[in-house]
A and B are shown apart, each in its own frame.
Chain A
Amino acid sequence: MKLYPTIGLETHAELMTESKLFCSCSARFGGGENEHCCIGCSGFPGALPALNKKALELIVRAGFSFNCEIARFTKWERKNYFYPDLPAAYQVSQMERPVCAGGFLEINVSGEKKTIRLNRIHLEEDAGKLTHEGNRSFADYNRTGVPLIEIVTEPDFHSADEVVAYVEKLRQILQYADICDGKMEQGSLRCDVNISLATIENTQAGKLGVRTEIKNLNSIKAIGRAIQAETERQTDIIESGGTVVQQTLRFNDANGEITPMRNKENAHDYRYFPDPDIPPVVLTEEELKSFKAALPELPEVRMSRYTAEFGLSPNDAAIILGDKNVSDFYDDTVKIYNSPKTLAGFIIVELLRRVNLGEANMKSLSFTADDFAELQRFVDEGKVNRDIRKDILRDMLESGKSPVQICDEKNLWIKEDAGAVEAVIDKIMAANPAAVEQYKNGEIKVFGFLMGQANKELKGSAAPATVKNMLEQKLKKA
């Protein structure tokens, strides 16, 4: 009996708004304990919420990005439960009328395309954070009230690979659309995974097994591992004749263990009901139009621009699109110097290598896109030797100086001074009479040696073609 997993995903993404969902406190990560708090987000009597319009725009943006139907009328409910990280003892969320319904996302798993259907996206508030020291607990409400969207899929996944591909794609889109920073390590993007197992026949007939839910996975690696572990756990239970219990589980990232949080009997009855303090919102066509106009360019659109307009290979385009910071930087360089292909090459071959080596950070480069583009222009125009491009780049990273400054200081400009080149070649030939003799005897491969010696002496101050031509002529005459 081969068992087949069916998986659904709920992803929580914190929105990149300045302030919280229902008050004007900062929504930024960090800050001293309880510094981003007011009477509203810390649950004092008499506080009233006021909806953050930017959060509404961002969830609508998510709706556009994931092909959802956007509600013209949307409202909020209270989800009631006691927990010390929830100061009002209810979370404002959306039940009946979420902002976005339906939608889909296309993923690519080992070369095969697959469509993942979305059920809904709704706008809600985050809870606070608890820390425990010995038998004491501390509540920090900085995160309380930070706007979240919850993106719920249909149970369309059947492997961990599909889920991972989906989360990666989702994260990329959220980042490109400036909806969520996607920092899973800071908890700004986290997933709950629902899994059930059944035979292929039953799965196809829609007869799914008992479902469990793993809460709060906060890395792509953990998602893959947790699905693997839970699939194995359920398989063991079913194969040994047991039944899977419907329950909520926790995945321990450190040891890979799955432990129960609560089972169905202890499941909360959240007693959802319309929040009397938050008036329903009617979204007008004008608002939606202005939200659409402000929608940043999504990765797929950029991909086709890079390949069709810039002529990059799909592979190179994908490398650049892999990080929004890189892609944004690339676009900035192209705006300054319209040579998208050489710039893409420079970024992929040299800049990303520095990044991967940890010598550069895309978010805090010591030079501007301007400087970077200019350096490539000098190379392309034959003003700077291509071979020393990487050295100049490293110098820019370290010193923050502009390429002009570096070339001036280190005398790296190609000098079209035929006399100087001739003098150097004469010197090299005089110093290596054996090599010259070998060349004359038909051993052409020593040409490279002589060329290298000359270039070493010239320190990149002459165009390679000039050196090559002159050396060839001199050797013929010798």
Chain B
Amino acid sequence: MESLIQLRKSLDEKKISVRELTKQYLDRINHYTGNAYVSVTEETAFKNAEIAQKLIDTGNATALTGIPCSVKDNICVAGIKATSGSKMLEDFIPFYDAKVIRDLAAQGYVLTGKTNMDEFAMGNSNRTSVFGNASNPHDVMRVPGGSSGGSAAAVAADLCAYSIGTDTGGSIRQPASHCGVVGLKPTYESISRHGIVAFAGSFDTVGPIAKTSEDCAVIMESLCEGKDFTSKLGRDIKGVKIALIKELFTDSVDTNVKTAVMDKVEFLKSHGAEIIEASMPVLEYAAPAYFVLASAEGASALSKFDGVKYGLKGEGASYDEQLRDSRTRGLGDEVKRRIMLGNFVLSGDNMNDYFRKALAVKQRVIREYNDVFSKADAIISPTSMRTAFSLDEPSDFVKIYSSTLYTVPANLAGLPCVSTPCNISRDFDKQNMPAGLSVTGKKFDEATILQIADFIERGAR
């Protein structure tokens, strides 16, 4: 399994043509049965490959030129279905490119397809997709995580060198953790949300899932002109101050996950990192506050799906009947649940009782993060309290919602956070599902968190 950096070298040294490389990836995709993709864009991929090859041949290649990738199905690519994992948009073909697609195309990317996801990015197991779940490449009977489950699985199964996903409450990091790959949620709004099917605009963040932190850094630097993501890669971490938040290491965290994370903390400490204990009492309210805010925004954002302009057309004699039919048949249970929750917290007095209180929690989260970052350069925590669970595990919503505690704080505060595998070594045992370690940093300080994650990955190699 080659990293983006390695592929770049092979392409630049003409060891392989873009077309050959693309074909290799497409062959793997076509033989793969894990449902990671909802659309495979073979024709587009070969067209892209031709353009990319020209860029390479004329000496105009950049970091991403000719590298096969995939994008999550809530990202609009002109002429290619963008279903968002929903029956509502099963046949929706946007006629416009998302900003991130325009930027990728400008560099000569190669699009292999659109990846599976939880419906409208609402879910953490990829099981709410109307196309059925993607499976975890490490164990097909387990979930890949979500909502960017297809993207994480595709990278883990080497169906693409990297994938572009979205993270509203952990949707990049949690599946990356479950699939043993690296997922970066950059600082909120680092990459434009234009052309992303909205879930919750205050939190929706576009970011990469890749094989290494170094790859993530290179992708980000390609997409965010003039910003630094790579300068600290490979530097030693002596004197880097890392905080451990006590509320994120409680007994709820699976012992094996906790041990794996603490092993890496010890590793960093042994290389001179300074470990600081800290506390963020507000985290008790982080998950409920996130669900109040994100569901409210989601309920509003998804209201435009009425079957009038596009999407599943409803049957009925009046607009109201058609609307009801379109949304009854077009939207899945989890999405409906969140729409109801979102509308509930905004209705009448609930606005004060829930929504405003949740906003206050969000402000408090930001303050407590600021306190921690006045003493530390980064925070380390588990990405998820456990490894990928079984596909047939029943959905216990309160449990699922509260399990987002490990990822949503970074979304509430808009901070960058990278998840890197912490229990994969050369002798990785398939019985042992991957666990992820999260490094959270100050706003726009991706360089430091990528340095730390990269240091851990180098140590494991």
Residues of A within 8 A of B (CB): 39, 42-48, 78, 80, 82-84, 87-90, 137, 139, 269, 271-273, 275-277
Q: State which of B94, B96, B195, B300 has its C-beta within 8 Å of the C-beta of A80.
A: B300
Judging by beta carbons under 8 Å apart, are A273 and B309 in contact?
no
Complex-state Cα separation, A88 to B192, whole angstroms: 20
Residues of A within 8 A of B299 (CB): 80, 271
Residues of B within 8 A of A80 (CB): 299-300, 303, 346
Task: Check if B310 is an interface residue, CB within 8 A of chain A.
Answer: yes
Residues of B within 8 A of A39 (CB): 96
Judging by beta carbons under 8 Å apart, are A90 and B194 in contact?
no
Residues of A within 8 A of B192 (CB): 48
Identify 14 residue pairs between A and B in the complex whose beta-carbon atoms are under 8 Å apart, listed by A's number: A39-B96, A42-B309, A43-B309, A44-B96, A45-B304, A46-B76, A46-B195, A46-B197, A87-B308, A89-B300, A89-B304, A271-B296, A272-B351, A273-B297
Task: Check if B34 is an interface residue, CB within 8 A of chain A.
Answer: no
Task: Check if B348 is an interface residue, CB within 8 A of chain A.
Answer: yes
Judging by beta carbons under 8 Å apart, are B200 and A273 in contact?
no
Complex-state Cα separation, A39 to B195, whole angstroms: 10
Question: 20 new A-B pairs (CB below 8 Å) besides A45-B197, A48-B194, A87-B304?
Answer: A42-B309, A44-B309, A45-B76, A45-B89, A45-B94, A46-B94, A46-B96, A46-B195, A80-B299, A84-B319, A87-B308, A88-B303, A269-B347, A271-B343, A271-B347, A273-B296, A273-B297, A273-B351, A275-B201, A276-B200
Q: State which of B296, B303, B346, B351 has its C-beta within 8 Å of the C-beta of A89.
A: B303
Nearest CB of B to A439, in Å: 87
Task: Check if B306 is an interface residue, CB within 8 A of chain A.
Answer: yes
Judging by beta carbons under 8 Å apart, are B198 and A46 in contact?
yes
Task: Check if B196 is an interface residue, CB within 8 A of chain A.
Answer: yes
Complex-state Cα separation, A83 to B323, whole angstroms: 10
Task: Check if B402 is an interface residue, CB within 8 A of chain A.
Answer: no
Judging by beta carbons under 8 Å apart, are A89 and B202 in contact?
no
Interface of A is mostly: loop
- A130, closest chain B residue (CB): B319
Complex-state Cα separation, A217 to B82, whole angstroms: 43
Residues of B within 8 A of A89 (CB): 300, 303-304, 306
Residues of B within 8 A of A45 (CB): 76, 82, 84, 89, 92, 94, 197-198, 304
Complex-state Cα separation, A137 to B303, whole angstroms: 20
One digit per residue, 1 when the CB lies within 8 angstroms of any chain A CB and 0 when it does not, for chain B 79-112 equals 0001010000100101010100000000000000
Nearest CB of B to A124, in Å: 16
Task: Check if B23 is an interface residue, CB within 8 A of chain A.
Answer: no
User: A82-B323, A87-B304, A273-B355 are contacts. A46–B343 as well, Cβ < 8 Å?
Assistant: no
Q: Of residues 177 to 197 in B, which have CB atoms within 8 Å of A's CB atoms?
A: 192-197
Residues of B within 8 A of A (CB): 76, 82, 84, 89, 92, 94, 96, 98, 192-198, 200-202, 296-297, 299-300, 303-304, 306, 308-310, 319-320, 323, 343, 346-348, 351, 355
Judging by beta carbons under 8 Å apart, are A271 and B300 in contact?
yes
Residues of B within 8 A of A271 (CB): 296, 299-300, 343, 346-347, 351
Complex-state Cα separation, A277 to B202, whole angstroms: 7
Nearest CB of A to B324, in Å: 10
- A135, closest chain B residue (CB): B317
Residues of B within 8 A of A48 (CB): 192-194
Judging by beta carbons under 8 Å apart, are B303 and A82 in contact?
yes
Q: State which of B98, B196, B202, B308 has its C-beta within 8 Å of the C-beta of A276.
A: B202
Judging by beta carbons under 8 Å apart, are B310 and A44 in contact?
yes
Nearest CB of A to B72, in Å: 12
Q: State which of B196, B304, B346 has its C-beta within 8 Å of the C-beta of A43.
A: B304
Complex-state Cα separation, A88 to B76, whole angstroms: 17
Counting chain A CB atoms within 10 Å of each CB, which of B195, B196, B343 scores highest? B195
Complex-state Cα separation, A137 to B318, whole angstroms: 10
Residues of A within 8 A of B193 (CB): 46, 48
Q: State which of A47, A78, A139, A273 has its C-beta within 8 Å of the C-beta of B308.
A: A139
Residues of B within 8 A of A137 (CB): 319
Q: State which of B96, B346, B348 has its C-beta within 8 Å of the C-beta of A273.
A: B346
Complex-state Cα separation, A465 to B275, whole angstroms: 108
Counting chain A CB atoms within 10 Å of each CB, which of B89, B200, B201 scores highest? B201
- A88, closest chain B residue (CB): B304
Q: State which of B98, B296, B323, B347 has its C-beta within 8 Å of the C-beta of A46.
A: B98
Nearest CB of B to A239, in Å: 35
- B327, closest chain A residue (CB): A82
Nearest CB of B to A58, in Å: 26
Judging by beta carbons under 8 Å apart, are A276 and B309 in contact?
no
Complex-state Cα separation, A308 to B124, whole angstroms: 75
Complex-state Cα separation, A83 to B318, whole angstroms: 12
Judging by beta carbons under 8 Å apart, are A276 and B201 in contact?
yes
Residues of A within 8 A of B297 (CB): 273, 276
- A279, closest chain B residue (CB): B189
Residues of A within 8 A of B320 (CB): 82
Q: State which of B89, B98, B309 has its C-beta within 8 Å of the C-beta of A87.
A: B309
Complex-state Cα separation, A289 to B92, whole angstroms: 48
Residues of A within 8 A of B195 (CB): 46
- A50, closest chain B residue (CB): B194
Residues of B within 8 A of A273 (CB): 296-297, 300, 346, 351, 355
Complex-state Cα separation, A84 to B322, whole angstroms: 11
6 shortest interchain CB distances as A-B pairs: A276-B201, A89-B303, A271-B346, A276-B202, A46-B195, A45-B197
Residues of B within 8 A of A87 (CB): 304, 308-309
Nearest CB of A to B168, in Å: 11
- B189, closest chain A residue (CB): A279
Complex-state Cα separation, A292 to B85, whole angstroms: 51
Residues of B within 8 A of A276 (CB): 200-202, 297
Q: State which of B89, B94, B196, B303 has its C-beta within 8 Å of the C-beta of A90.
A: B303
Complex-state Cα separation, A45 to B77, whole angstroms: 12
Judging by beta carbons under 8 Å apart, are B306 and A84 in contact?
yes
Residues of B within 8 A of A42 (CB): 309
Complex-state Cα separation, A82 to B324, whole angstroms: 11
Residues of A within 8 A of B310 (CB): 44
Complex-state Cα separation, A276 to B168, whole angstroms: 13
Residues of B within 8 A of A43 (CB): 304, 309
Residues of A within 8 A of B308 (CB): 84, 87, 139
Residues of A within 8 A of B202 (CB): 276
Residues of A within 8 A of B200 (CB): 276
Complex-state Cα separation, A320 to B17, whole angstroms: 78
Nearest CB of A to B239, in Å: 37
Complex-state Cα separation, A45 to B76, whole angstroms: 8
Judging by beta carbons under 8 Å apart, are B348 and A82 in contact?
no
- A79, closest chain B residue (CB): B300
Nearest CB of B to A21, in Å: 17
Residues of A within 8 A of B323 (CB): 82
Nearest CB of A to B50, in Å: 27
- B317, closest chain A residue (CB): A135
- B359, closest chain A residue (CB): A274
Complex-state Cα separation, A443 to B306, whole angstroms: 91
Nearest CB of A to B344, in Å: 10
Complex-state Cα separation, A435 to B273, whole angstroms: 125
Judging by beta carbons under 8 Å apart, are A46 and B346 in contact?
no
Residues of B within 8 A of A272 (CB): 346, 351
Complex-state Cα separation, A289 to B391, whole angstroms: 63
Q: State which of A82, A83, A269, A277 has its C-beta within 8 Å of the C-beta of B201.
A: A277
- B348, closest chain A residue (CB): A269
Complex-state Cα separation, A43 to B302, whole angstroms: 11
Complex-state Cα separation, A80 to B303, whole angstroms: 8
Judging by beta carbons under 8 Å apart, are A46 and B309 in contact?
no
Complex-state Cα separation, A80 to B351, whole angstroms: 14
Complex-state Cα separation, A272 to B351, whole angstroms: 9
- B192, closest chain A residue (CB): A48
Nearest CB of B to A127, in Å: 13
Complex-state Cα separation, A139 to B84, whole angstroms: 26
Residues of A within 8 A of B92 (CB): 45
User: A44-B94, A46-B76, A137-B319 are contacts. A90–B300 as well, Cβ < 8 Å?
Assistant: yes
Nearest CB of A to B111, in Å: 17
Complex-state Cα separation, A322 to B347, whole angstroms: 47
Residues of A within 8 A of B194 (CB): 46-48
